[in-house]
Amino acid sequence: MEYLSNLEDDPEEDEPELEPETPGLTPGRAGIASQDFEYRTENLDSVQVADGTTLAGRLNQAAEDGWSLVTLLPLGGTTVVLLRRHRRPGPSRRGPVGFVAAGSS
């Protein structure tokens, strides 16, 4: 019975669970940097969202390329579809960052 009484005093039980401050957003996980993902957006008008086929078709097509839905952002008559996927290995598409010496452009 001593063993059971030790379980009741578990300090982890007293720790509150972290809840997102903003609905729909969760705290980031340690070790996963934003560079691990690439993002893209697609714009759909209200008719395309409501027709029942366009949005589903776009999401299925994106999923075939490894994209997953992050969220839908309604902006007036347009809905922005935010997608992400794990960054694929290979050369970066970003150019060098920094200053260019005068006269070298």
Taking only the tens place, the pLDDT of each residue in 17-48 is 555 454 544 444 545 455 689 999 999 999 99
Does residue 23 lie in a domain region? no
Residue 4 above 80 pLDDT? no
Does residue 25 lie in a domain region? no
Does residue 68 lie in a domain region? yes
Does residue 46 lie in a domain region? yes
Does residue 96 lie in a domain region? no
The residue segments making up the domain with residue 39 are: 35-88
Does residue 73 lie in a domain region? yes
pLDDT band at 81 (very low <50, low <70, confident <90, very high): very high
Instruction: Note the pLDDT tens digit of each residue in 82-95.
Output: 999 998 887 666 66
In terms of DSSP bridges, do strands 78-86 and 68-75 run parallel, antiparallel, or are they unpaired?
Answer: antiparallel
Distances in Å between the Cα of 67 and the Cα atoms of 41, 43, 55, 82, 98 are: 11, 15, 14, 10, 31
Does residue 48 lie in a domain region? yes
Q: Are 80 and 41 in contact (CB under 8 A)?
A: yes
Does residue 52 lie in a domain region? yes
